[in-house]
Amino acid sequence: MNVLIYIESENNAPKKSSLEAVAYGAAIAKGQVVAVAPSDADTTELGKYGVDKVLQFTVSGKLEATQVASIVAQAAQAQSAEVVIFAKSILNDLAAPMVGVHLGASVASNVIEMPDFSKGFVVKRGVFSGKAYTEVALNNAIKVLSIKKNAVAMTEKGKTAVIESFSPSVAASTITIKETTQKTGDILLTDADIVVSGGRGLKGPEHWGMIEELAKTLNAATGCSKPVSDMDWRPHHEHVGQTGIKVSPNLYIAVGISGAIQHLAGVSSSKTIVVINKDADAPFFKAADYGIVGDAFDIIPKFTEALKNTL
Ligand SMILES: Cc1cc2nc3c(=O)[nH]c(=O)nc-3n(C[C@H](O)[C@H](O)[C@H](O)COP(=O)(O)OP(=O)(O)OC[C@H]3O[C@@H](n4cnc5c(N)ncnc54)[C@H](O)[C@@H]3O)c2cc1C
């Protein structure tokens, strides 16, 4: 069973979520593990995580989902891949089902565990904002999966991948993509390993300096609760929750956030949750791995200082 993984790049390197997708593919492959990657990605590391062969294609500008789907489908056909794997992302959530249509494949998104082969090819998918899961049997000969971030441990296999150039035919883009520039130093909320979020307990935008300082010390992204962005204390792209961004970092630190069900819906699949709240009865403590009951204005500066002395 050959497996094909689509690699997304960022700053000329494969994204961590793509390396997790590689680890997933390498764990289930019974044949070749092939990666298909844009030429702006340095793919030398992929062998380390289990890739046998990299198909590298040249792109000019940003790809749209239909183009990604076409490239991946052509690569899958060329490599006789029976399983095609994406890391879950906004673009890949659109491209994966299109690959399913191209290849007549079964498709499962937001996969959170390795397949259960004892029942055929059954995968677990996160549903209802991570509050539940469902098991899906993929019965077609070809399967397309997208893997949820942080669902798979990256294990090193120590291989060296052969790199081949790949020239798929790609139709011209049918949409205009407006590129926006990320501010230097900003960490994308959805990609962050650590997120520090603030809520209404911080009283006003003028107090966000301590949240940013803590985030900077931990190399984390900053997030916030909905009322905070509604009041324009923070930009809307930082709003985390059911109606905002859903995150699944290794560490989520919630400061002055009550833990309403709508906020939890966006953070409950974080690996470790730390809650700082002055009210010992705040609902967030029920979802927390670690909790500190106390005044954020007292705790956060001391916490940041202590981290600076340790890290
Ligand atoms: C349809 C719908 C969708 C929604 N979607 C979302 C969503 O996506 N995301 C979201 O976040 N919300 C969402 N909400 C709103 C949600 O119900 C809550 O109202 C909101 O999450 C509360 O935000 P908060 O915890 O920041 O504020 P509050 O509920 O006001 O809580 C503030 C917390 O800060 C604590 N605090 C106060 N002072 C301090 C201090 N000095 N130190 C430490 N702690 C302190 C308090 O004890 C309290 O627990 C939605 C609501 C609806 C109806």
Q: What CATH number did the domain enclosing 25 receive?
A: 3.40.50.620
Q: How far is CA 309 from the centre of its chain?
A: 30
Which pLDDT belongs to residue 180? 64
Q: How far apart are CA 25 and CA 281, in angstroms?
A: 43
Which pLDDT belongs to residue 131? 75
Residues 140 and 245 in one domain: no
Contacts of 206 (CB under 8 A, 6+ apart): none
Which pLDDT belongs to residue 181? 60
User: Cβ(279)–Cβ(257) under 8 Å?
Assistant: no
Among the candidates 165, 181, 206, a domain finishes at: 165
Atom of ligand 1 nearest to the CA of 242: 8
Which pLDDT belongs to residue 179? 64
Residues 292 and 157 in one domain: no
Which pLDDT belongs to residue 187? 79
Atom of ligand 1 nearest to the CA of 241: 8
Residues 198 and 279 in one domain: yes
Residue nearest to atom 52 of ligand 1 (CA): 262
Q: Is residue 255 part of a domain?
A: yes
Q: Tokens 């790609």: give the residue.
A: 170
User: Cβ(36)–Cβ(7) under 8 Å?
Assistant: yes
pTM exceeding 0.95:
no
Residues 147 and 290 in one domain: no
3-class DSSP assignment, residue 187: coil
CA of 224 to the centre of ligand 1 (A): 9
Residues 160 and 197 in one domain: no
Residues 103 and 140 in one domain: yes
Q: Is 223 in the pocket of ligand 1 (CB under 6 A)?
A: no
State the virtual CA torsion across 233, 311, 192, 23 in degrees, nearest 10. Answer: -170
Q: Is residue 172 part of a domain?
A: no
Q: Which tokens hold the place of 251? A: 């560490």
Nearest to 187 by CA among 235, 217, 228, 219: 219
Residues 245 and 151 in one domain: no
User: Cβ(33)–Cβ(22) under 8 Å?
Assistant: yes
Residues 156 and 232 in one domain: no
Count CA atoms within 13 Å of residue 206 on its CB side. Answer: 1
Low-confidence ranges of the chain (pLDDT < 70): 177-185
Residues 158 and 199 in one domain: no
Q: What is the CATH number of the domain that holds 251?
A: 3.40.50.1220
Which pLDDT belongs to residue 185? 52
Atom of ligand 1 nearest to the CA of 198: 26
Residues 37 and 152 in one domain: yes
Q: Is 242 in the pocket of ligand 1 (CB under 6 A)?
A: yes
Q: How far apart are CA 197 and CA 225, in angstroms?
A: 7
Q: Is residue 184 part of a domain?
A: no
CA of 227 to the centre of ligand 1 (A): 7
Q: Is 129 in the pocket of ligand 1 (CB under 6 A)?
A: no
CA of 284 to the centre of ligand 1 (A): 10
Question: CA distances (Å), 239 to each of 126, 128, 144, 195, 273, in order?
Answer: 21, 18, 31, 12, 17
Question: CA distances (Å), 271 to each of 71, 145, 153, 252, 267, in order?
Answer: 33, 22, 12, 8, 9
Q: How far apart are CA 269 and CA 22, in angstroms?
A: 21
Q: Is residue 177 part of a domain?
A: no
Residues 83 and 36 in one domain: yes
Q: Is residue 195 part of a domain?
A: yes
Among the candidates 110, 132, 165, a domain finishes at: 165
Domains in the chain, number: 2
Which pLDDT belongs to residue 166? 96
For residue 15, the enclosing domain spans: 2-165
Which pLDDT belongs to residue 277? 98
CA of 4 to the centre of ligand 1 (A): 42
Q: Is residue 179 part of a domain?
A: no
Residues 142 and 57 in one domain: yes
